[in-house]
Structure 1
Amino acid sequence: MRVRLPSIYAVREYKDKNAIRQLLEPEREIDATVVRYTTDGATGWEVTPTDGGLPLLVLNKEPRVRPGVQEAALIKLASPETSNGTMDARAGTWIQHPAFERLGHARGRERVTNAIASWRNAFSYIGEDPANDVIGLRLPQEGALHAIHAHWSVSSGVASVVMPTGTGKTETMLAALVSTPCDRLLVVVPTDALRTQIAAKFLTLGVFKSPQCRVLSASAHYPVVGVLEHKPKTVEAVQEFFDACNIIVTTSQIAGLCAPELQQRMATLCSHLFVDEAHHAEAPTWKTFKLSFASRHILQFTATPFREDDQLIDGKIIYAYPLRKAQAEGYFRPIRFATVFEFDAAKADKAIAEKAVAALEADETGRHVAMARVASIERAVAVHGLYESMGRYHPVLLHSKLGAQERRQSLERLRSGESRIVVCVDMLGEGFDMPELKIAAFHDIRKSLSVTLQLAGRFTRARSDVGDATFIANTANVEVQSELRKLYTQDPDWNDLLPQLSETAIAGEVASQEFLAGFGDFPPEFPLRELKVAASMVIYRTRCSVWEPENFRKGLFAVKSSHEVYHSINQQERVLVVVSGSPRPLSWTDIESIHDWVWELLVAVWDAERSLLFIHGSGKNGEYKSLAKALCGEDVELLTDPLLYRCFHGVTRLLLTNLGLNEQFGRQVRFIGRMGADVASRLPDAAKHNARKAVISGMGYENGATATIGAAKRGRVWSFQRLRIDAFVRWCKHVGTKVIDETIDPEAVLKGTLVPEIADSRPRVMPVAIDWPEAIYTQRESALAVSFGSSTAETEFCRVGIDLVSPTEDGPLFFRIFNDSADAVFQLALPSDDSKIADYRFVQVNGTSTMRRSNTELEMLDFFEENPPVFWFADGSCLEGNQLVKLRATFETFDRNRIQSWDWTGIDIRKEAQGVTGAQDSIQFRVIEKLRADGTYHIIFDDDGAGESADVVTAIHKEEDGRPVIEVDFYHCKYAGGEPGARVDDLYVVCGQAQKSIAWLHGLNRPGFGGGSNF
């Protein structure tokens, strides 16, 4: 029978509930003869090794009389588990063993010292040799170890080692420990699970103590390892615990939450700090803790040197083993990507599950395990039920809400092979080592490159008895960071794409570190690597041969002696960074000594090659001309329009989302603004002599990635992104190159721009519709409400309608706003008075109304003065205040053959809505009745009322080109305004409603939708 024996400990104690252990011998498995045994009231088993070794007794309690030490070893265990011909006694406790005699009288600090002494000259650089069954250092481990010692020979600065998952990162830590050797090492990890795994590795010294390994001498002691699970309360407790250990393993949370004096004592007691999985985002408390180790050797290990929060990892990357090389050398197994294409989430889950089960069935080794990854516990429960319903491979569930025993049982079922499917929520990341994990079913996709690379490494570990990895994901509706999109296209080659992404990202991190290393000292409160610069700047042409960044104070007239100013200069890259803080008085006191602080970031970049100076100011307050002169001389020149508009060059599929024009004619049109998803597509050519381009911004694609760009006439260029300083410098130079390129036509971006005409009278065309101003749709509807008359009751904005009143081709323009019980009527007057200057005003005709916008109230009359509604006319033109936009194209008349005639027998054509009673003689009732009889629609909705999208809204779920779509139809009803007849006025009303519906279609990206709108 096979018998599994527990580890033998030289030290096994607790201090304030924190464990301290040192191995004498690790747990092992032997062949033995096992028979029942009873002695002195104790019962159990006698285990006799077949190799003639010392017999041992596994008893339920300690006997009153023990056998001699050389006669038998004793294990106390109530009931060892036996299955498949194996007795598992690992849960037992040794109470007698000859190895105990080797302990001697060493205690506490002496054990620690003895371990360190045993490591000296005990380490050898011996490479692995699988062909001859020799376990040694892998190539990436040996390279990393040489890089570590090379760095420590010249520097004590923070260093980072980048090794792909599966290349032996943890063993590299062990090698660094014993080859140095480290006097006392603190290892910090991000999670409890990883703390348990890393502590076990250091306790056993990993593969270096295996019989086939000659890297570490057999005389080398196991280290004394302390696991810090609970915060020490006093400096004395820290001293006592750390003094008793060679290695202390804890989490960043525990370390960061310790009091400052405890952290300082930890740093004093440790010679080295190792940080594992350094790509995790840093909490402020953890950052403070690391600063206390500034004088110690700090070594960071990660598979991905870019943090999850897009910040730089501090320290120098001293070694990075390429993922592509790890693949070539067999440490990182190939990945097969299987796609599912389903927009319906339930169908996608089922399809992914079916592919995961199929991959298990195709596994020739019979060892592979599938992990179904989901984003939430609720999803995990649902997906687990789906796998259970398939009746295969006994799926288990893992998430943070399960008890410790439930998690242990699930993991044991996985490791034993009883279960081959696990559904989990971020439970099998760092701290979980299972080479059989080979199938990843992404029911919910990880969105960042850092996490994707980490997760991929869990499935690509190489072992001779398992095969390659399979990843399964739904590619129909993927929301990931831009760099990951190629991974989730149809038929991607992950084996080629992952190394590309990894290499590009690592090269970027190294370049960023080298860039930041060029700056001088800067206060630790403002770490340069964590500054995020808004991509916004002004550009100056310079004529100097050298710049003088040290003179920056001469150009900041607003900076006073009472202000705090910090700066740093990168001389090689010609970059100046200034952070200034100015005191601001508080509204609730006149005491000068009590004030607030306002901080501003300034970044100046001089591109000597192109003779350009770029200046960014977080306050966006001006052109910084005095600063430009201080840096580059008196003859600097601010670049303005039209040159700035060259920045749009190279942006393909450009959609202008913000267009501003300056016009001097009339009060309301000094600035003409247009905002929308694509304002340029509806702006034909028009004369520009009355307007000057003021603001242009839009979005498109540049170099294969989404790009946003904007420019203002007075010299500012911007993009909607925040960048690290090095990326900001690259962006500046990229834009500057285009701005000074004489071959680029600055007018090209706005050729055909439509300039509104200034109207001194209303168009002689029939108005067909009116809509709220565009600015309304960019606000949260929940922040808007309207009250009518003297009532204080508010109506939600989504329940307030706006309609024309008695429209004519040449009469006054009346309109009303209304809810279900009240209204207020207004008139747009053009011109506003007897002045010859074209202008407009609104007149209250009937009723009163008030708008509340957040916490501000104003009369609707005042609101419309600043935000005029949009009148739409039968010829497609529109009027907003006194700004008239005409379409330059003429359109064909509507085809009469497309007009359908319905039977209205029994219907009162003067009664439009069916109301709450469902009036059967109403136009709306007949429409709904006919649509129901048609049987085509899955949903028919009565949307009649203030703020309606239509009188009737229908929806159909169907397939188009093999993909599911939802088709929505709007049905607008119009009752007869007088005696029945073929009046064109009634048709205008319905056409106007239809035109508003089309406008909704083009505005689906407006944030108002979904915030309480009827539609």
Structure 2
Amino acid sequence: MHGHFAPVLGGLFGRNLQFTWTNVVKAFGDARKIYFTATPFRRDKKEIKGKLIYIYSISKAYEDKIFGDIGYYPVITDNPNIDLAIALETEKVFLNDKKAGFKHFIMVRTERKDHAESLVELYEKNTALRLKKIDSTLSYRTIKRTIKKLRDGELDGIICVDMLGEGFDFPNLKIAAIHSPKKSLANTLQFIGRFARTNAENIGEAKFLAIPSDIEIGKKRLYEEGAIWNDIIKNLSKEVIEEEDEIKTVLDTFEKEETDFYIKEDISFYNLNPYCHVKVYKADGINLDETIEIAGHKIIYHAISKEHNAIVFITKETEKPKWILTNELINIQHYFFLIYYDIDSGLLFINSSIKTIRFYDELVEIFAEGEYNRISKYQINKVLLDITAPEFFNIGMQNRSANSGESYRIIAGPNAENTIRKSHSKNYANGHVFMKGTSEGSNVTIGYSSGSKVWSNAYEKIPNFINWCKTLASKIISERDEKTNTGFDNLPIGKVVDSFQLPAHSATWHQDTFGETPFLLKLQEDDILSTNQLLDFAIEIRTELSSLVQLAIDLILDDTIIQLKYDFQNHFQFREIPEFNFVIETNGHNDDLLDYFNDTPLQIYLDDFATIANHEFFAPANEGDYQYLADKILSYDWNINNTDITKEFYKTAQEKIDNGNKNSIHETLHIKLSSENYDILIYDHGTGEVADYITLKEFADKFEINLYHVKGSSGNNPGDRVTDVYEVCMQVIKSQAWTTNKHTFKSKILNRTKEHPEKYIVGNKDIFTDFMNEGKRLVFSFTIIQPGISQATFSPKLSHILAATDDSLVNSGYESLIAIGS
């Protein structure tokens, strides 16, 4: 009758438990209900409706002596037949308990019927135990007879396939031979509970026998050697129930917003289980009143928690496949979005099913209050704090060498950190990482990459997801520096700066550009005027227009010149608004040119071998990291040709006369190279030069090309000419930009000699062009001419500069540096 409370009690079991229970609950839809359960969490991790109002804990059951002592007895063996080892130990424990006067019985547990059959035979052949197998293939009458024999003492135990775990009251069942451990916490607690009962005479501690393993149940390793189950089980049950209560409490703070799109079934907020992946920004706050608008998407779920500064969206996209013209086939896909703001750290976390850089930027623009910025790699690296026993599976290394044929290296496999040496720090920087370790006694995984993305290989309910973000936030803002004490620490980490610490001399493409090979489209309104591979464009730093605050950069291909500027505040912008529109096409997706470069920025090389990558500054390597042996310097007697080693070249004939008709270094080198039978010899000294001298010699399968860079000595005698050597080595680094491929080198030389055929000392434009049109490979070498150095006057600083230059060349695929002194 209406207004009366009529309790309905039901005991449900079997394979269709959840289906049956759900239907019973629905049948009494308007009734008030109180649920009773031994474990207030489902093994499938779905929601149990209702609030926790009373908890009778396992520790209280211990105090009330309803729950007895339990112990884990690890079976330590060298026997490859672990089933036999467990069987023999089970028999030993059973006989010892019997001798002690206990009336204990055995359950042999496995999860497969075929395994149970083999265990029957194994126990019969190797033990004297009287065991009987029961499983779901047997009739109810047969199972009932077997249980009666067990109670009457005609059997020592039973072999079970996932039976008798729930609803079976036989407190004398005290020895569990676990051949296949249960994996879920609910199942494990219920299984243990059947053995821990105390309502019988002549019973003692419940004993669980299993091979030690790393299996985690409820984040605890129950089956590791030395595990104290009495303590673990009590605490584990309490922790999980408290976590369940916290989950429900946090979820109750989310208020569901109305959406324009109706769905038949309500989405259970409890069942939302996002993957732990976020992009992190620094922000002043979060705007919870905003919403998202995605073309082709309808919002089907929208919830806000003002208490926890979090907002959740689920959208639905309905579209026909691109390969069909009609609407006969439709793809339906759902997307999840969670935005959370951590007040204590001022960090905004975005979890999105759509993971493009552009979309993240749109979301942060919508939901971030005030100013917002991405997090530097230096700060993101701190998510590794307090993780012990690290083991790295995947490490990315950003190549910092100009014009290297390898822009990005990935090391994958177990203990990848062991392959990283200190020498890697000279040419590589921290790119991305994915690893596992231990934190607060639990196994964890963590990874991060450029663009302030962090992830863990886990799915968590929303309250746990928010707690995960809070943990990340406290680490990111920590003032501590992270050291893993592994080879991974050898890789330098970039820092966010507001100006260039050193002058820039060249640049190359982002590693994603090399991998995706995008096209650059030149447009006038909607008309495509030209389409070229972006990688075909030359990148030129306009040093005369650049400063330590802003760079001027030109992208050049034939008659097309795109003028850009770059700084750390606005990143890439046009120096002048171009006459045409430029779009980057990548895998069928179009991006504005500036958006593309701001997402996948050029890697910029600075003096002193420093680098800008992903908008972050990587300092030069330490001086001690490089060493160039003095005996590698080639000596040359400049006096034979009456050379003034302080004079690199003469601007006028009179200048030479005034200097006693002594040869300049250029003149002496001219004599030397002219006598060495090269097929091409070019004198290219001047503004914008490739090198002072360029030689080319043909072989059967290749052309050897040597670029000579000359710097006069600042003194009359050889000495510690640090400034001289540094200047000429930087010329070597810069000139690599013109040797990245045959097309670039050919175009640059032809352009330099087009109006100056006299630059060809040996050969001419036609011979050079014919050589370049052949299919032979080009092998480049670089030589510095610095008469101010010698083996006798070689200092550690000179060694560092020359070694760093040499390392840059070799790492970029060139021959080793040639240094000619006195």
Measure how far apart 1:392 and its partner are.
4.6
Corresponding residue of 2:276 = 535
- 1:821-836 residue pairs with structure 2 within 5 A? none
Match for 1:314: what amino acid? K
- 1:364-443 residue pairs with structure 2 within 5 A? 364-366=101-103, 368-389=104-125, 392=128, 394-443=130-179
Q: For the aligned residues, what is the CA RMSD? A: 3.8
Deviates more, 1:660-669 or 1:717-726: 660-669
Cα contact 1:661–1:691 (8 A) shared by 2: yes
Distance across 2 between alignment mates of 1:598 and 1:436: 54
- The match for 1:696 among 420, 433, 440 is 433
Structure 2 unaligned blocks of 5 or more: 258-262, 494-700, 708-735, 743-809, 815-822
Alpha carbons of structure 1 residues 577 and 683: separation in structure 2 relative to 1, 3 Å: same
Deviations 1:896-933 (A, max 9, x none): xxxxxxxxxxxxxxxxxxxxxxxxxxxxxxxxxxxxxx
Cα contact 2:47–2:270 (8 A) shared by 1: yes
Whether 1:568 and 2:303 are equivalent positions in the alignment is yes
Cα contact 1:340–1:351 (8 A) shared by 2: no
Distance across 2 between alignment mates of 1:360 and 1:540: 62
Whether 1:737 and 2:478 are equivalent positions in the alignment is no
Measure how far apart 1:369 and its partner are.
2.0
Corresponding residue of 1:608 = 343
Measure how far apart 1:411 and its partner are.
1.5
SS of corresponding position for 2:281: strand
Distance across 2 between alignment mates of 1:447 and 1:603: 30
SS of corresponding position for 2:164: coil
Alpha carbons of structure 1 residues 520 and 387: separation in structure 2 relative to 1, 3 Å: same
- The match for 1:295 among 9, 12, 30 is 30
Cα contact 1:738–1:744 (8 A) shared by 2: no
Cα contact 2:432–2:448 (8 A) shared by 1: yes
Deviations 1:860-892 (A, max 9, x none): xxxxxxxxxxxxxxxxxxxxx98789xxxxxxx
Cα contact 1:684–1:754 (8 A) shared by 2: no
Cα contact 1:340–1:472 (8 A) shared by 2: no
Match for 2:268: what amino acid? P
- The match for 1:515 among 241, 250, 253 is 250
- 1:942-981 residue pairs with structure 2 within 5 A? none
Alpha carbons of structure 1 residues 631 and 702: separation in structure 2 relative to 1, 3 Å: same
Cα contact 1:832–1:839 (8 A) shared by 2: no
Alpha carbons of structure 1 residues 439 and 754: separation in structure 2 relative to 1, 3 Å: same
Cα contact 1:663–1:672 (8 A) shared by 2: yes
- Give aligned pairs, total: 505
Match for 1:683: what amino acid? I
SS of corresponding position for 1:581: strand
Cα contact 2:404–2:812 (8 A) shared by 1: no
Distance across 1 between alignment mates of 2:448 and 2:175: 49
SS of corresponding position for 2:356: coil
Whether 1:490 and 2:225 are equivalent positions in the alignment is yes
Cα contact 1:582–1:599 (8 A) shared by 2: yes
Distance across 2 between alignment mates of 1:830 and 1:662: 30
Corresponding residue of 2:616 = none
Alpha carbons of structure 1 residues 682 and 370: separation in structure 2 relative to 1, 3 Å: same
Measure how far apart 1:688 and its partner are.
4.6
SS of corresponding position for 2:432: strand
Corresponding residue of 1:265 = none
Match for 1:354: what amino acid? E
- The match for 1:462 among 192, 198, 206 is 198
Measure how far apart 1:360 and its partner are.
4.7
Alpha carbons of structure 1 residues 746 and 602: separation in structure 2 relative to 1, 3 Å: farther
State the percentage of identical aligned residues: 23
Match for 2:447: what amino acid? G
Match for 2:90: what amino acid? A
Measure how far apart 1:289 and its partner are.
7.0
Deviations 1:242-279 (A, max 9, x none): xxxxxxxxx53673xxxxxxxxxxxxxxxxxxx5xxxx
Whether 1:753 and 2:491 are equivalent positions in the alignment is yes
Cα contact 1:543–1:635 (8 A) shared by 2: yes
Cα contact 2:339–2:350 (8 A) shared by 1: yes
- 1:37-76 residue pairs with structure 2 within 5 A? none
Deviations 1:2-28 (A, max 9, x none): xxxxxxxxxxxxxxxxxxxxxxxxxxx
Corresponding residue of 2:290 = 551
Corresponding residue of 2:52 = 317
Distance across 2 between alignment mates of 1:465 and 1:300: 32
- The match for 2:12 among 166, 170, 189 is 189
Measure how far apart 1:388 and its partner are.
3.3
Measure how far apart 1:584 and its partner are.
2.3
Deviations 1:161-215 (A, max 9, x none): xxxxxxxxxxxxxxxxxx9543xx36262327xxxxxxxxxxxxxxxxxxxxxxx
Corresponding residue of 2:382 = 646
Distance across 1 between alignment mates of 2:356 and 2:483: 26
- 1:114-133 residue pairs with structure 2 within 5 A? none
Distance across 2 between alignment mates of 1:360 and 1:431: 25
Alpha carbons of structure 1 residues 477 and 743: separation in structure 2 relative to 1, 3 Å: closer
- The match for 1:655 among 382, 391, 404 is 391
- The match for 1:474 among 185, 195, 210 is 210
Cα contact 2:75–2:209 (8 A) shared by 1: yes
Measure how far apart 1:502 and its partner are.
0.6
Distance across 1 between alignment mates of 2:151 and 2:352: 57
Measure how far apart 1:692 and its partner are.
4.3
Structure 1 unaligned blocks of 5 or more: 1-112, 114-151, 154-178, 193-250, 256-274, 276-285, 756-827, 841-880, 886-1015
Corresponding residue of 1:94 = none
Distance across 2 between alignment mates of 1:830 and 1:375: 69
Cα contact 1:327–1:333 (8 A) shared by 2: yes
Distance across 2 between alignment mates of 1:466 and 1:191: 33
TM-score normalised according to structure 2 size: 0.56
Match for 2:180: what amino acid? D
Alpha carbons of structure 1 residues 696 and 339: separation in structure 2 relative to 1, 3 Å: closer
Distance across 2 between alignment mates of 1:706 and 1:830: 56
Alpha carbons of structure 1 residues 686 and 466: separation in structure 2 relative to 1, 3 Å: same
SS of corresponding position for 2:208: strand
